[in-house]
Structure 1
Amino acid sequence: MADVVGNKNAKDYYIGVPQPKSSFHVKGMDHVDWGMKDRLSRIFNPKSGNTLMLAFDHGYIMGSTFGLERLDLVIPELAEDIDVFMATRGGLRSCVPPTFNKAIALRCSAGSTVASEDVIKEVIGVDIEDAIRMNASCMAVQTFIGTEEEKSSLQNLVKTIDAGNRYGIPTLGVVAVGKNMVRDTRFFLLATRVLAELGAQIIKTYYCDEFEKVTAACPVPIVIAGGKKLPEESALEMAYKAIQEGASGVDMGRNIFQAENPKAMTKAVAKIVHEKYTGKTAYEFYMDTK
């Protein structure tokens, strides 16, 4: 595989090669148990095969974030078009009505905040019993590939995967990137494949150049992170390109709740994820809707 990654013609290796036929709509999950398939079907729409996640777990490391000062007001406004809430247990229990009955990607890693110099140091912050009590559809654990905390973050991941497998709860491995890390194709090829090989059933990562190589080389679904706030047109175009190039969903936070019109933006992203809108037609829909 290293030879393929380093080959300037590697794209030919990944693109155009038929993917294995699947009897289940979630990539790589044909052989998991019924309960895990049920949870994955709550995350990934059986018709489109994709998912739209709303990330509002920023508070666990950033505290109060612009646009999320009042979770109890923001989340109900956006819930209609969201498939999955990605949140902390505290945010969910205190601010989000369980009557929405949405799939939950429960943030299970915890660590230092932005006030510390050791942001990359994390531990498992939620045990499997509480994930079950929260009726989590998957458990999200942050990893720090390429840093001095790589090993400990991967230990957090595999312990969560082991616990989740015992109870049929998938684990979402999150690829974190530091300020000084190179966000190139080679890095994301490495990070996403490692997390999948360790047993994560879903990978959350960033969009990058030659993204189709990353999704093709990863045997489980990839959901892209929205990242920093972009102009609405640019964010929608990024979401479109990611889906076109093999992503199975979008997990947006700031590009939704910090948009000029968050509700219209949520609907526009959902059009790309589930209804095959292009970035252009989704932006036109956004402008008309807002």
Structure 2
Amino acid sequence: TAGLPHVIIRFYTVPKVRDARISVGWALVFIALLYTAAPAVAVFARTNLLNTVTDQPYAEMPEWFTKWETTGLISYEDHNGDGLIQYVGPEAVDAAGAPVQNELTIDRDIMVLANPEIARLPNWVVGLVAAGGLAAALSTAAGLLLVLSAAISHDLLKRNWRPDISERGELLAARLSAGFAVLVAGYLGVNPPGFVAEVVAFAFGLAASSFFPVIILGIFSKRLNREGAIAGMLCGITLTAAYIVYFKFVNPGANVAENWWFGISPEGIGALGMAVNFAVATVVSRFTPAPPPEAQRLVERIRLPRGAGEAHEISG
């Protein structure tokens, strides 16, 4: 979470380092509550679903079942013709030991939205969940688009490739990069590489293997320099992205535990990429020139919670 770009830019919303630390502290509390409660909510939702549909007559399914069935995200096929929904695993057997075929297919992405309806909660709760999901998606997308457009138009284009670019040209580059990102995101939304939890895991892994080590080393190590940061990020994100692309797109048939490195799935490879990033950044920084004195003084000021003072731009 600390390495996600749309989270990092929130530090600019407070005037002092102390305020930023307090804000991050509270954010970590709520994030911890969210991730701690998520597995429990998932178990409750699955249990509620099983109790609602398993061995129940299809003709007596509640209204929420019919509504979601029209979207194609829930499908029922009566294989044995008894009119009852058999929602079982791949190795299920009946009392006589004969295999039982699953008759219900549920898209995992609908569980968050369908769970309030399954639990027969009031309509305003269903609307609140939908509104919360939409607000989270829009705020995240807005933050990511802002970071992406600023990084391309200002950090890459103006500061490195075309220092003489006008403000109009910089704004045009920002809009074009944001538009391209929207198109890519739209395509991946229509053709997702996995269900929501998988995609989130990929995003966290890519952020952990690229930004997070540099952020930590930039705060707690005055020896980290530009060469080390770039080398670490390139190695970490290349390893993570290549691992994900290979198992999810190039050779999905090989995406089994026997073929994973050290038993790490593509969803968790970001941890290994993060370790590689830390190691490469540290080693490269030791064998290349130290950062300029003003950068080291900036690191010292970041550690003090009394205030950030005026902003300073580091040349080079």
Question: Which of the pair has more CA radius of gyration?
Answer: 2
What TM-score, normalized to structure 1? 0.24
More strand by share: 1
Q: Normalized per residue, which structure has more helix? A: 2
